[in-house]
Amino acid sequence: MNRHSLKCLSATVVALLFSVQASAEGRGQVSYKDDIQPILQIRCLECHQTGGDGLAYSGLDLSSYEGLMKGTKHGTVITPGDALSSNLNVLVEGRAGIRMPHNRRSLTKCEQEMLRNWVNQGAKNN
């Protein structure tokens, strides 16, 4: 990818993240479809989808709500209503021995807060 393409991609991602934040803040309720799914697509799907190392290693498929809620080979990653104990939040917030996304830039505080709020609101498929 050349430098110009990378700059355009970065600008698109930043614009998307600002629109996601404004969308959720404007209505209070965090939406899986409008707020969470875009974060997962941009930040997690490279590894956690069919053919990805994250899916092969952990069994966590983040390409759908059902895959997210199913969790890993070792159990669930979301505890609806409890972001403090949800493994997804623990991993993206760096409260474990490893941080996700693995070997990539950490989720922003805004993205982490969005995930936290969604889980605390019941992790609904809305």
Residue pair 118/28 in contact (Cβ under 8 Å)? The answer is no
3-state secondary structure of 24: helix
Q: How far apart are CA 84 and CA 94, in angstroms?
A: 12
Angle, CA 4 vertex, CA 41 and CA 62 arms, to 5°: 10
* Residue 66 main-chain phi, psi, to 5 deg: -60, -40
The two tokens of residue 8 are 């355009």
Q: What is the pLDDT of residue 7?
A: 46
* Tens-digit pLDDT profile for residues 2-58: 554 444 444 445 445 555 555 444 559 999 999 999 999 999 999 999 999 999 999
* Tens-digit pLDDT profile for residues 110-124: 999 999 999 999 999
